[in-house]
Structure 1
Amino acid sequence: MSITVAAVSANFTRDLEQNYALIEQLLEDARAQGAQLVAFPEASIGGYLSSLGNHGDTVRTTTRSLPPAIRLDGPELRHVQELAGETVVVIGFCELDDDGETRYNAAVCLDGQRIYGSYRKVHQPLGEAMSYAAGPGYHAFDTPLGRIGLQICYDKAFPEAARVLALDGAEIVVSLSAWPAARTATAENLQDDRWTYRFNLFDTARALDNQVFWIASNQSGTFGSLRYVGNAKVVDPGGNVLATTLLGAGLAVAEIDVEGTFRTMRGGMFHLRDRRPDAYGPVTASDSPQAQGWRELAHA
């Protein structure tokens, strides 16, 4: 069975009403092209942080507005569900924990009837940890369109993150981002920027590593000091880009056949089957001398 999926490249800010209007318009455009699954970027509800690095936003010290912190059962996501209807939507937001204080950079997969799964970002770049707590791990979940796993932005730089989702049966990995251009030595043509290159390389590599469909959304335009690189895309299990927005805002739409493609791709070399976990001990060992040395360097 084939399904049509769409990855969004768009600019989202602190203005929630503007965000909802943009979500509604993009859903209409995606449905007009037959999309049954639409992946919005990281921080689509309320926008991302305005800066990163040593001068990143923090709950305690920022003079800027932080993204609104919302709950999974709050009115903001219920409104998105109303807009989603029968369409399966993946969208990023700032989640408020039950303690009423802790914030997570989060994503949720839902339609008008239910929430299928949610995720709290594990890997945090630069100064993001000053604003968000880290999530605990990865898991895939079932939806009417297949088994889906979620990642957010910097997660894609870690092969283990995508592999865990693939081992949990994910057929489609949705990677939501607010991925900016390099902060120094930015290329004149943003499509040639080194961080744009990495964003695109990670997407194709992770799809091919795990022989899964990979849907990458991203913010576009600018927000605060960040200039986003767009390049939302759909990648097949062979690492082939089926559709991309490049730098522009809009939708990357593609028709995919999960069962048929898996049967063909995994009929010969099947990376998950051919793994040798007995040879990978250092990958997950947290008590090795090397791991201890890295932790010391990180806190130096």
Structure 2
Amino acid sequence: MSRKLEVSLAQMDLTPLAPADNGERLVGIATAEAKAGAGLIVFPELCNTGYVEPLAPGGGFPSGCASHTEYAKRLYAAAADRDDALIQALSAVADHYDSHIVVGLALRSATRSGVLYNASLLLGPGGIHSCYAKTHLWHNEKLYFTPGRSMPVSDIHTARLGMQICYDIRFPEITRCLALQGAEVVTNVWASFRGADDPIEDEGLFRHRAFTRAQENGVFFLSCNRVGRQGDMQFMGRSLVARPDGRILAALDHEKEGVLRATLDLDEVVAYRMSTGILNDRRPELYGTLAENDLLV
């Protein structure tokens, strides 16, 4: 019996430090896609708050904040708790339509006051199914977020799903650890940008990265990036879905808002892994010693 999963990737613009406005749009898109039959809906990184400011070291505060201190306070206020109204609303959509939602959020720690995570949440019937906190923090993210220490994998209907966030893609260990825990689908939610007045250096950047992580692990790799402008930076969009052998199944080759829809045939995961031996042929007994030592010291 064939296992198939309908997915929707929402490539959207976001308003800095405006969780209510952003949340209203998220719920609207999630409802429409779930109603149309999507079993998995994916949203970009930091959907409730927008990306952190300054976006790049040495930059300014497009949101109008006068200092890091003021921005940090506003970011914390705009972040979500685990019982946040937005999480409840998206969970209600998932529950009503028996679907799942992956959404990037600035999330307050449930146990430590003043601690924030750059998180990717898997929501489904009943609420939060798993939470991944970004392990590798990019530049100014380190000013505000605490890095995560776990890589959960969860069941969603016909597949097992793992999550990562943006910069994590440059560390192959993340996707491999998810695959070794049984992940067949890996989501990467982005807020990847360039200078608004600078040409994009490589139109195929996101394709190259998704191809590599997909084919070296035999997973469907779902790459969902945001769009829009924040200060002098332009978010690059170009969301896509890569098949287990790396071939691109579907893509939005632009920086405009849109929803990318695709059908994943999970039998392709089995076929690719069996034909290549990509997981069976690993030699972890050889890698371990090197991995445990920091060769740069």
TM class by smaller structure = 0.7 to 0.9
What is residue 165 of structure 2 aligned with on the other side? 152
* Cα distance in structure 1, aligned partners of 2:71 and 2:117: 17
* Cα distance in structure 1, aligned partners of 2:144 and 2:108: 12
C-alpha contact (below 8 Å) 2:34/2:93 kept by paired residues: no
C-alpha contact (below 8 Å) 1:39/1:91 kept by paired residues: yes
After superposition, the Cα gap between the structure-2 partners of 1:268 and 1:157, relative to the gap in structure 1 and judged at 3 Å, is same
Shift in Å at residue 185 of structure 1?
A: 8.3
Note if 1:264 corresponds to 2:271.
yes
What is residue 263 of structure 2 aligned with on the other side? 255
After superposition, the Cα gap between the structure-2 partners of 1:96 and 1:63, relative to the gap in structure 1 and judged at 3 Å, is closer
Shift in Å at residue 126 of structure 1?
A: 1.7
What is residue 245 of structure 2 aligned with on the other side? 238
C-alpha contact (below 8 Å) 1:69/1:96 kept by paired residues: yes
After superposition, the Cα gap between the structure-2 partners of 1:280 and 1:163, relative to the gap in structure 1 and judged at 3 Å, is same
After superposition, give the CA deviation of every residue in 1:36-86 in whole Å (9 maximum; x if it has no partner).
Answer: 100111111222213333236786364894262222233331122123332
* Cα distance in structure 2, aligned partners of 1:83 and 1:263: 31
* Cα distance in structure 2, aligned partners of 1:147 and 1:231: 25
After superposition, the Cα gap between the structure-2 partners of 1:283 and 1:222, relative to the gap in structure 1 and judged at 3 Å, is farther
* Cα distance in structure 2, aligned partners of 1:120 and 1:26: 24
Shift in Å at residue 231 of structure 1?
A: 1.0
RMSD over aligned CA atoms reads 2.3
For 2:75, which of 66, 69, 79 is the aligned residue?
A: 66
Shift in Å at residue 273 of structure 1?
A: 0.9
AA of the residue aligned to 1:82: A
C-alpha contact (below 8 Å) 2:31/2:93 kept by paired residues: no
The count of aligned residue pairs is: 283
After superposition, give the CA deviation of every residue in 1:193-236 in whole Å (9 maximum; x if it has no partner).
Answer: 23654333111110111010111111111123431110111111
* Cα distance in structure 1, aligned partners of 2:225 and 2:73: 22
After superposition, the Cα gap between the structure-2 partners of 1:61 and 1:167, relative to the gap in structure 1 and judged at 3 Å, is same
C-alpha contact (below 8 Å) 1:159/1:206 kept by paired residues: yes
Note if 1:48 corresponds to 2:58.
no
* Cα distance in structure 1, aligned partners of 2:223 and 2:168: 12
* Cα distance in structure 2, aligned partners of 1:127 and 1:195: 24
AA of the residue aligned to 2:235: Y
Shift in Å at residue 91 of structure 1?
A: 0.3
Equivalent residue of 1:27, what SS? helix
After superposition, the Cα gap between the structure-2 partners of 1:52 and 1:231, relative to the gap in structure 1 and judged at 3 Å, is same
Shift in Å at residue 120 of structure 1?
A: 0.3
For 2:282, which of 275, 278, 281 is the aligned residue?
A: 275
* Cα distance in structure 2, aligned partners of 1:263 and 1:159: 21
C-alpha contact (below 8 Å) 1:139/1:164 kept by paired residues: no
Equivalent residue of 1:53, what SS? coil
Note if 1:218 corresponds to 2:211.
no
